[in-house]
Amino acid sequence: MHSATHPILLIFLLYRGTSGDSVTQTEVPVTLPEEALLILNCTYQTTYPDAYLFWYVQYVNRAPQLLLKGSTANPRPEHQGFQATLDKSSRTFHLQKPSVQTSDSAVYYCALGDTEKGGGGYGKLTFGQGTILTIRPIIQDPDPAVYQLRDSKSSDTTVCLYTDFGSQINMTQLPATDLKVFNSTSTVLDMGAIGSKSNGVLSWSNSTSFGCQDAFSETFYASEEFPCNPKLVEKSFETDISLNFQNLLVIAFRILLLKMVGFNLLMTLQLWSS
């Protein structure tokens, strides 16, 4: 998810302190449940009394962007629910958020900027190693299911939707097989209409021997502590004749209504002209 390094990040990492400046932050990956309290530690060392502290966030496939900036004039910055307190006595700038959301999953970098260069600017930037943050969604009453869709006129295409699992799914290529299977990344389905969320993964294949139930097994499940025995729901791509007939009726009534409106408008104009 975060393996690709953006060119801008490479530029950031080149600006590391060479005069005793250093930044140490939480380096191990952090995984939290949704709505939990987030605390990412950041300590620093510098010889400049008026140094600036920063938190940058890098979402997947995007460039790092500034999240918070702390200084003597603004020691407690806040933004989008995130906050940090610049404590110069303990030399800390810990990042906090009272209630994290799944959208907060990203890589977070703590950075130090001196004020000696650039006419009062930040001068060079010294970055920490970065912390990978993953937020698990709250799944209420998970009911694992595999939805299998097949073309009713041709068996060349099969689409599988694995959904409503209690934990993230780790989908990989099918082992010991020559089938060409494509998997999407695991995503969170926000079903606002029923007030719940669900984990989901989409897979598809052009092989006639590909079966959704066979493709999914507990080996693909992210955590062994969650048992998984998904039920299979098979559907086809058949066209609903009744629905098509209703659509044609609606179109016919609309055309008739437009003709009636046009006829009435024409008759009214003729009466006015006479």
Half-sphere exposure (CA, 13 Å, Cβ side) for 99?
2
More reliable by pLDDT, 134 or 233: 134
Q: Which fold has domain 7-135?
A: Immunoglobulin-like (2.60.40)
pLDDT of residue 241: 59
Tokens representing 257?
Answer: 């209504």
Spell out the domain ranges in the chain.
Answer: 7-135, 145-236
Same fold, 7-135 and 145-236: yes
Distance CA 163, CA 189 (A): 8
Distance CA 170, CA 201 (A): 9
Q: What whole-number percentage of the chain has pLDDT above 70?
A: 60
How many residues can be counted in the chain?
Answer: 274
Condensed to tens digits (0 to 9), the pLDDT of residues 99-127 reads 999 889 999 999 998 764 444 556 688 99
The H or E element that residue 260 is part of is helix 241-273
The H or E element that residue 11 is part of is helix 7-14
Distance CA 79, CA 154 (A): 53
DSSP string, 18-71: SSS-EEEE--S-EEEETT--EEE-EEEE-S-TT-EEEEEEE-TTS--EEEEEE-
End-to-end Cα distance, the chain: 75
Has residue 231 got a pLDDT over 90?
A: no
Distance CA 81, CA 111 (A): 19
DSSP string, 152-168: SS-SS-EEEEEEEESS-
CATH number for the domain running over 145-236: 2.60.40.10
Which range scores top for mean pLDDT: 82-86, 162-166, 193-197, 231-235?
Answer: 82-86
Confidence of residue 61 (pLDDT cuts 50, 70, 90): confident
CA angle at 117 for the pair 113 and 119, rounded to the nearest 5°? 115
Q: What is the pTM of this model?
A: 0.58
Q: Which residues pair with 250 in a beta bridge?
A: none
CA angle at 107 for the pair 102 and 111, rounded to the nearest 5°? 135
Which range scores top for mean pLDDT: 10-19, 24-33, 188-197?
Answer: 24-33
